[in-house]
Amino acid sequence: MKPLADCRLYAFIDSAYLHGRLPAEVALQLCEGGADIIQLRAKDWAESEIRAAAEKILPVTRAAEIPLIINDYWALASELGVEGCHLGQEDYFEEEEDPTPELAFPGPQLGLSSHAPEQAQAALEADADYVAVGPVFETPTKPGRPAVTVDYVRWAAENIDCPWFAIGGITLENVDEVLEAGARRICVVSAILNSPDIARTCQQFRERIASQPLD
């Protein structure tokens, strides 16, 4: 399985952008396109639906040796034995003073969102395995969430010492700006999932990311 430190293109299977496609079919296209890590995110699905989808996606990602991340559901991620779980700041820090019993470690690798330096610092103090930095640009994926701009990307490049991924409104038209600001790993949602050729679009993002090798 590819280590997080070597993962550069973080792709998604997002229920809002399936457009009638089966999750496992999208997973296969993402794998074929060279995605390094895949998150299953389904804000409008019941946990049972997420479980059923994950059980069909896992054989695809395991065959490709690509980590699968489940959004929001730590207990489910632990039960299924997926490689990671991604949580928002409010899910991890605000529900309880301390992590809930379901967040007991060891377990899946932990990814945490951050929208400002103080949140990134909190994620580092929580020993997150990776941090998401964004939304860099305004995005319908996070309605109402103001863009953090590439200024936060520059801060992250100087201050975050674990793997981190720029996320939010990143497209082939603006990815170079994000890379020039210091990002070396990026998350892409709608720009890939809305493409008529998911695999090819993944390849195009990989080519752009490769223009800035890891330090």
Residue 214 domain-assigned (yes or no): no
> What range does the domain containing 44 cover?
4-209
Residue 142 domain-assigned (yes or no): yes
Q: Show which residues are catalytic.
A: 41, 113, 142
CB of 43 within 8 A of CB of 212? no
DSSP letter string, 149-215: HHHHHHHHHHH--S-EEE-SS--TTTHHHHHHTT--SEEESHHHHTSS-HHHHHHHHHHHHTTS---
φ/ψ of residue 138, rounded to 5 = -60, 140
Q: In this predicted model, what pLDDT tens digit does every residue of 19-38 receive, in sequence order?
A: 999 999 999 999 999 999 99
Residue 202 domain-assigned (yes or no): yes
Q: What is the CATH number of the domain that holds 23?
A: 3.20.20.70
> What residues pair up with 112 in beta bridges, in sequence order?
87, 131
Q: In this predicted model, what pLDDT tens digit does every residue of 160-210 receive, in sequence order?
A: 999 999 999 999 999 999 999 999 999 999 999 999 999 999 999 999 999
Q: What is the mean pLDDT of residues 37-41?
A: 98
- The total domain count for the chain is 1
Residue 151 domain-assigned (yes or no): yes
Three-class DSSP labels, 78-116: HHHCCCEEEECHHHHHHCCCCCCHHHCCCCCEEEEEECC
Tell me what pLDDT residue 104 has.
52
The yes-or-no verdict on residue 96 having pLDDT over 50 is no
Tell me what pLDDT residue 14 has.
98
CB of 166 within 8 A of CB of 187? yes
Residue 93 domain-assigned (yes or no): yes
Residue 130 domain-assigned (yes or no): yes
Residue 215 domain-assigned (yes or no): no
Residue 203 domain-assigned (yes or no): yes
